[in-house]
Amino acid sequence: MHERTVRELNEIVKDEQRMIEAYAYMIEDTQEPELKEELRRIQERHFQQLMAFSDRIYELGGDAKFKVGASGLDEDRRHYQDKRRDITDLERARKALTREQQQTERLSRFVLSDEDPSSLELIKLAANKNQHHIKALEEYIQRRERQ
């Protein structure tokens, strides 16, 4: 088994889970239908990426380490609920853009120790999809700023 690669891929799985959760909050708080739909599409793609990385981990003989449980989640939710509602949809789109840029940067710096070409290709594919997310969010932001 490629233990180090599995460990490293599991870090990506955790990142993808965080992205999915963040988008769930953004979608819930978004009022503008166009942005809400775009955020849903992006969230779905992150879910697909999470599943692809999980499948690769299993192919390598490992177990995907999903973050389970909601310890403190309800508390965090109550604490930030009012703060989140004060954010405009345009600001929310900017936050999503920043998250996508950060995630893409993390993926582009990722180097697997085992020289596993299939896993490296999967990482490159995820980074490429994130570039599409970035472009869609940038276009939305530009349209809204012109209005």
Whole-prediction pTM: 0.85
Per-residue pLDDT tens for 22-68? 999 999 999 999 999 999 999 999 999 999 999 999 999 999 887 65
The total number of structural domains that make up the chain: 1
Would the pLDDT of 75 be above 60?
A: no
Q: Which residue range(s) make up the domain with 43?
A: 3-146
With 0-12 / 13-18 / 19 or more C-beta atoms within 10 angstroms meaning exposed / middle / buried, residue 16 is: buried
CATH number, domain containing residue 129: 1.20.1260.10
Least trusted range by pLDDT, from 31-40, 92-101, 115-124, 129-138: 115-124
CB atoms within 10 A of CB 128: 11
